[in-house]
Amino acid sequence: MAEIAGQESPATSAGLWDRFSIRTKRVIWAWGFLALPIVFYVGIRFYPTVQAFWLSFTDWDLLRPATIIGLENYRRLFSDPLFWQVFRNTFTYLIIGTPVSLVLSFIIAFYLDRVRFMHGFIRALYFLPFLTTAAAMAWVWRWFYQPVPIGVINDVLQLFGLPQQPFLRSVDQALPAIMATAIWAGLGFQIIIFMAGLRAIPNTYYEAARIDGLGEWAILRKITLPLLKPTTVFLVVFSSIGFLRIFDQVYNMTTNDPGGPLNSTKPLVLMIFQTAFSSYDMGYAAAQTVVLFTILLVVSLIQLWVLRKRT
């Protein structure tokens, strides 16, 4: 029975198919191919996202069935001093991390672009940290920051007769110490992108400028930076999202007291992780996720708007 039906169906569909115009067929084909990623995204991305919004209004704890509690999770979140500290930390990572890493990587890319001697090797050296597992790298840096006798940085400070610094064991120094690691880790990628952008600027512009007698500084300001803008926009958005979602470095450098000391390094993602997977407070964690989602969305939109093409 099934076989007969199977033979019949291509015939009918072929009849129907022939009636379509080429244009319609093309559209059907296109949607046919597009359907796969769309179904994938709906199932793997959009559905859980919508689910997270719903969960954020419940008190689900994995074990008991969820009950709707309205805006209670958000009320709790906004009245939680920890949330505001985590919020400040997250924005410190963003507001200091993004510009510092972009300026550094631009300077390095700008000069590296002119270096011919061992160019590939130096570029590879800068790119290497980007290839390294974040966890492994974080642990190496964690040991760098230790007090004497094992911390390399403090050993060097000692050598010059300087007082040793607490680094990760200080509420003021821990966040910059971790940020330095994160910046260093992302530097290689940004340098490569910047160099690609620099290479894409036609040489004729520079030649023309030099013939007109423009100085290096003027060339940088009037030609290089404006023409590099698409690259810069991409990197600003990309690196901002990276800093807003920072987790690996913080978690691995502070595993004994995650996000510590005294929550001074805790980013939003780590707070979500702990709420969800050590306190099993899924509803509350979902509310935090929704807030993070909103922040990411707003920050990205603002950046795209500020750095939009003025035509």
Partner 1 sequence: MRSRIGLAGLVAGVSFLAMGSAQAVEIEYWQYVFDTRVKAMDQLIEKFEEANPDITVKHVTFPYADYQTRVVAAKVAGQGPDVVQLFYGWLDNFVAGGLIKPLDPAVFPYDKIESEFFPIVSAMKRGDSYYGLPTAVRSLALFYNKQLFQEAGLDPNKPPQTLDELLEAAKATVKRDSGGNMTSAGITIAMEGQDHQWWREVLIRQNGGQPYSDDNKQVTYNDEAGLAALKFITDLQTVHKVGQAGFMDEGQAAFRAGLAAMTIDGTFRLGAFESNPFEWGVTELPANADGLRSNYASYFANAIGATAEGEELEAAQKFLAYISSPEAMQIWLDVVGELPARKEAALTEKNLADPIHGPFLKGLEYAHTTIFVDEMAQRQVAIDMANRVLLQGQDPKDSLAQAAQEEQAILDRFYNK
Minimum Å gap between C-beta 74 and partner 1 is 16
Q: Which is nearer to partner 1, 129 or 261 (CB)?
A: 261
Minimum Å gap between C-beta 168 and partner 1 is 7
Q: Which is nearer to partner 1, 129 or 147 (CB)?
A: 147
Distance CA 30, CA 20 (A): 14
Minimum Å gap between C-beta 44 and partner 1 is 18
Q: Which is nearer to partner 1, 157 or 233 (CB)?
A: 157
Minimum Å gap between C-beta 265 and partner 1 is 12
Minimum Å gap between C-beta 223 and partner 1 is 50
| Burial of 265 per CB tally in 10 Å (0-12, 13-18, 19+) | buried
Q: Which is nearer to partner 1, 188 or 283 (CB)?
A: 283
Distance CA 86, CA 239 (A): 19
Amino acid occupying residue 61: D
Amino acid occupying residue 254: T
Q: Are the beta carbons of 242 and 230 closer than 8 angstroms?
A: no
What residues line the site for partner 1 (CB under 8 A)? 62-64, 142-143, 146-150, 158, 163-164, 166, 168-171, 256-257, 260-263, 274, 277-280
Q: How far is CA 24 from CA 10, 13, 27, 28, in A?
A: 19, 15, 5, 6
Q: Which is nearer to partner 1, 184 or 273 (CB)?
A: 273
Q: Are the beta carbons of 288 and 53 closer than 8 angstroms?
A: no
